[in-house]
Structure 1
Amino acid sequence: MSLVGKVEADVEIKAPAENFHELFSCRPHHISNVSPGKIQGCALHEGDWGKEGSVIFWDYVHDGKAKVAKQIIEAIDEKNNSITFKVIEGDLLQEYKSLKATVKATPKGEGSLVHWTMEYEKLNESIPEPNSLLQFVLDLSKDLDSHLTQA
């Protein structure tokens, strides 16, 4: 069994890809207002919102437990509406040596297709793949869609 892997999934939303991407890349600190049951806070530790190299600190609830994560924005692609975060501190590093998440929103019909990819290295073989974390971000994407389509 490999310690290195990748999980990915798609979720269809009604909001335009550009709006979804802009919320995640430039205004992630608004996400706690949109989905307070999942995200309690998002703070900028270094850099500027929406800029590569910026460091963001998240307070969130996953699997019923309050958790934290510090991420660096590794890449933002405005043309393709994608952003890549790398976890550099927090609860996830108790199970994973590394975890990188990429979210890409692609226009589809009147809405968008949001594709999440998580690349990881587990600390040992007993650690599960991050499938519940993947489901968490898919559910979060639906919450953001509801907000964006109401606005």
Structure 2
Amino acid sequence: MALKGKLSTEIPIKAPASKWFHLFATKLYHVQNLAERLHHTKLHEGEDWHHKDTIKQWTYEIDGKVLTCKEKIEAVDEENKTITYILFGGDISPHYKVFKFIFHVIEKEDGSAYVNWTLEYEKIDHSVEHPYGYVEYLTKSSEDVDANLLKA
């Protein structure tokens, strides 16, 4: 059984892809106001929410448990509307050596769009479960964000 893994989910969205990318690329602090299971976020180190050296602390809920982690941006590709986040500390580091979220907003030719979340991870050992709860969390949170972006 492999320690490294990758999980991915695609969520159809109704709000414009440009609005989604703008939120995650320039107003990440606002996501906590749009997703039910995201309880709180704050700057841990740094002054700019979107600088690669800035570390944020997140408090969120997965499988009914309140968890925490730290996060920093690894890469931003504006042209392809993709952002890679590294998660660590809190409830992540005791279980995973590597834990990344890759956020990608995709517009189709027919005008529809979707958000693709990819989780790349490496477990500390074989006793650690695959992070399926995070896929469910990202799906539900994306649905919440989309509904709120449509209202704005």
Same fold (TM over 0.5): yes
**Aligned partner letter, 1:124:** D
TM-score by length of 1: 0.92
What residue is the counterpart of 1:2 in the other structure? 2
Q: Deviations over 1:118-140 (max 9, x none)?
A: 11001111212111101111111
Structure 1, unaligned runs of 5 or more: none
Structure-1 separation of matches of 2:15 and 2:119: 23
* Identity among equivalent pairs (%): 34
Structure 2, unaligned runs of 5 or more: none
Q: Does 2:78 align with 1:43?
A: no
- 8 Å CA contact 1:47–1:55 kept in 2: the answer is no
Q: Deviations over 1:10-39 (max 9, x none)?
A: 11000111111121222121122112x311
What residue is the counterpart of 1:62 in the other structure? 62
What residue is the counterpart of 1:130 in the other structure? 131
Structure-2 separation of matches of 1:84 and 1:53: 13
Structure-2 separation of matches of 1:64 and 1:103: 24
Where do 1:65-80 residues align within 5 Å? 65-80=65-80
Q: Does 2:150 align with 1:149?
A: yes
**Aligned partner letter, 1:41:** H
Q: Does 2:66 align with 1:52?
A: no
The 3-state SS of whatever aligns with 1:92 is coil
Q: Does 2:30 align with 1:21?
A: no
Structure-2 separation of matches of 1:53 and 1:19: 24
Q: Measure how far apart 1:51 and its partner are.
A: 2.8
Q: Deviations over 1:99-149 (max 9, x none)?
A: 011010011334411111111001111212111101111111111100111
**Aligned partner letter, 2:128:** I
Structure-1 separation of matches of 2:80 and 2:51: 15
Structure-2 separation of matches of 1:102 and 1:47: 23
Q: Deviations over 1:26-85 (max 9, x none)?
A: 2121122112x3111111232412333321111111111111110110011111111110
TM-score by length of 2: 0.91
- 8 Å CA contact 1:28–1:42 kept in 2: the answer is no
